[in-house]
Structure 1
Amino acid sequence: MPQSSDAPAAPAAEPEATAAAPRPRPPAVRATLVASAVALLLIVAIILGSRMLRNFDSALLPYAVATVFLAFGVTYRYTVWVSEPAARRLLRQGWRTLFSRENFRKAPTALPRMIATYLGFQKFLGARSTARWAAHQLLFWGCILAAVITFPLTWGWFTFTSATGPGPSYEMRIWGFKIIGFNSADVIGWALFHGLDLAAVLVIAGAGYFLWRRLRDRTATTGQRFGYDLVPLLALIVISVTGLLLTFSAVFLHGGGYEFLALLHMVSVVFTLIYLPFGKFFHIVQRPAAVGMQLFKYSARQDEKLFTCRRCGELVDTAPYVENLRGTMRDLRLDFDEWAEYCPRCKRVLRGSAYLTRVKRGFK
């Protein structure tokens, strides 16, 4: 039967639901996936680099497991860190400056010089204190030397094998390929076999100074935390001292107490490697990212793009750096990004004036 003309019209067909845009993964989930991939790649590299575990020393298994956890922890925290607006903007500007053809044409040696002075010799610390700079250099290069020796040995990439020849001859091999042959009685052989002892001496000197400063200097003790400031120094000293005692036991005590010292050394090393991604040592991983920002500021200075303080006229920094800082503050939803346009001294004056005006009116 036909419908009457006043009958309600059939509802129009609803448009097909559009597919919902995929939500970005939370930083923790993304970081877990990336860290798991890096840890798996390290396990594969250990297996392949040790020639299918033929060169892998099973006694070093706890160290190897700790390094895998270290890779996971460092990657996880680094991925979470770079997901933050400030770090993401810093890395973006750094990489953009690094691959800029114009910047390379103007200053081709800028990057190597900054890597040497900012990362290697850390000249920025010398402006604070010569003693702190020297102690940091001892600690830095001692840790670098220990890591360069320990990690390949732990993974089975780096081996010493006996060789035929006059005297106690050895061959140093990496991934099974001979690199150098040497006699353990000469200077090169002694340095290769006692490289970790040299590293331990450097670390003890550097960490000992900072530990002394943490216990005696009022400016250092005021805001220090035991787990964050003292534990890393104590851990490095324990590792270094027990490592030296292992050599002392082998050379002078004919192995007396060696097993106990080896266990204590292993526990201290494993604890430090597990602690590293979540404590103060993480700045070691963050520091290279700052080289890109230093290069960014340097390239802006070459173009004389400088920004002066709105209050006193003193130089603040490069104009692109100030604008980058303002952008970061906007990303963080901070409503006072104009403060980036003031020098540090004027910021303190303005904060004090605001405190006196709004909080402690009439405070003398």
Structure 2
Amino acid sequence: MTEPPQTAEPTAPEPEAAPAPAADGRASQTPAAVRRRAVLAGAAVSVLLILAIVLGSRLLRDFDSALLPYAVATVFLAFGVAYRYTVWISAPGARRLFRQGWRSFFSADNFRKAPTALPKMIATYLGFQKFLGARSHARWAAHQLLFWGCILAALITFPLTWGWFTFTSSTGDGPGYEMRIWGFKVLGFDSLNILGWLMFHGLDIAAVLVIAGASYFLWRRMKDRAAITGQRFAYDLIPLIALIVISVTGLLLTFSSIFLHGGGYEFLAILHMVSVVFTLIYIPFGKFFHIVQRPAAVGMQLFKYTSRRKDEELQTCRRCHEPIDTPDYVENLRGTMKDLKLDFDEWAEYCPRCKRVLRGNAYLTHVKKGFK
């Protein structure tokens, strides 16, 4: 049986030296330096978004001042996402994942050998999230409702908020309308037919999808013992409650305008605006941030897939000689462990079962004997 290399006995600490270079050749990153870069990245993205709003709305000619709070919230959202993302990829593990993902994405060799790999992963891993189906079909269906409802709402709300989309009527009140993007006409439709109904009620459809998906997860977190044990109110429940509040108040706005002749519309509009603004600002610093992280995971999946297609054998476990993964993937894992200064990166060359066996033997040998 082959055992992992034994580490040397600890020695007396040496005088502190200058920060050593990181494994990728760059200087060690202090928290203050990471925060400065994150603030600069957030500010740059916010300025770019403001410029895009001004230019996309034709110097604010198409910008609706009533939507100003929503537009300001999206600027804060852009800052928060850029700030948090910069901090996230500054960590050694995330930085290596990010770098390997983009390297695989831009590899001409990968594209030549597997041209359909990336579209397939985007569709299955990001779009339809088939990995969730292995856990529970109900969770997968609820996640699909939530995901596509949010996507539909974002595709409608953001361009309207920024003044990129406009709906105009030559008669002032329809039924004929034109949809313009950046001032260019792209579609003409009648508000009284099915296309017009879908155009004007897209957000209502998104709200129904989101309510169904979020309600299932909220119900599960109230009933499932495993979910109750590990959940946190601010992290796990507030996002679901916020999505439900946004969707319900949005539907109530439509209900008020159609059936109540505008009764209570102003109060509902303010409540809806507050819930949307709060959620947009919350996204970068709560559970919703995984929406931004998920595409990076696709890059890592692409790296694993393309490395397995190479004409090389899988690396085997040093103890039982069962296949583990490709040499590239194992070496990448060891590199991440070295970046994190974990002095047991050799364990990446063992399969999960052998790791458990070796840990158990070490416990019996070095810990259990102390109780004799």
TM-score, structure 2 normalization: 0.87
Q: 1:331 aligns with which of 328, 332, 339?
A: 339
CA distance in 2, matches of 1:194, 1:357: 68
Structure 2: gaps of 5 or more residues: 1-26
- Of 156-165 and 176-185, more deviation after overlay is shown by 156-165
TM-score, structure 1 normalization: 0.89
The alpha carbon displacement at 1:52 in A equals 1.1
1:285-331 superposed Cα distances (whole Å, 9 cap, x missing partner): 01101111111111111124423333444443222111101100000
Q: Residues 1-364 of structure 1 correspond to what in structure 2 (within 5 A)? A: 26-163=33-170, 168-303=175-310, 304-359=312-367
Q: 1:150 to 1:165 in 2, by over 3 A?
A: closer
Q: 1:312 to 1:233 in 2, by over 3 A?
A: farther
CA distance in 2, matches of 1:69, 1:166: 35
1:145-168 superposed Cα distances (whole Å, 9 cap, x missing partner): 000000001011111101359971
Q: 1:362 to 1:314 in 2, by over 3 A?
A: farther
- Which residue identity is paired with 1:46? I
1:154-185 superposed Cα distances (whole Å, 9 cap, x missing partner): 01111110135997110111111111000111
Partner in structure 2 of residue 10 of structure 1: none
Q: Percent identity?
A: 79
Q: 1:316 to 1:54 in 2, by over 3 A?
A: same
The alpha carbon displacement at 1:351 in A equals 3.8
Q: 1:170 to 1:287 in 2, by over 3 A?
A: same
Q: What is the Cα-based RMSD across aligned positions, in Å?
A: 2.1
Partner in structure 1 of residue 14 of structure 2: none
Q: 1:52 to 1:166 in 2, by over 3 A?
A: closer
Q: 1:301 to 1:166 in 2, by over 3 A?
A: same
The alpha carbon displacement at 1:353 in A equals 4.3
The alpha carbon displacement at 1:130 in A equals 1.2
1:207 touches 1:233 (CA, 8 Å); kept in 2?
Answer: yes
* Bigger RCO of structures 1 and 2 (CA < 8 A, at least 6 apart): 2
CA distance in 2, matches of 1:351, 1:172: 64
CA distance in 1, matches of 2:276, 2:112: 45
1:37-77 superposed Cα distances (whole Å, 9 cap, x missing partner): 11001111111111111111111111000000000000011
Greater Rg by CA:
1
Structure 1: gaps of 5 or more residues: 1-21
1:356 touches 1:362 (CA, 8 Å); kept in 2?
Answer: no
CA distance in 2, matches of 1:34, 1:168: 45
Q: 1:271 to 1:305 in 2, by over 3 A?
A: farther
- Which residue identity is paired with 1:229? D
Q: 1:217 to 1:44 in 2, by over 3 A?
A: same
Q: 1:332 to 1:165 in 2, by over 3 A?
A: closer
CA distance in 2, matches of 1:86, 1:214: 30
1:60-95 superposed Cα distances (whole Å, 9 cap, x missing partner): 111000000000000011011111111111111111
CA distance in 2, matches of 1:180, 1:106: 40
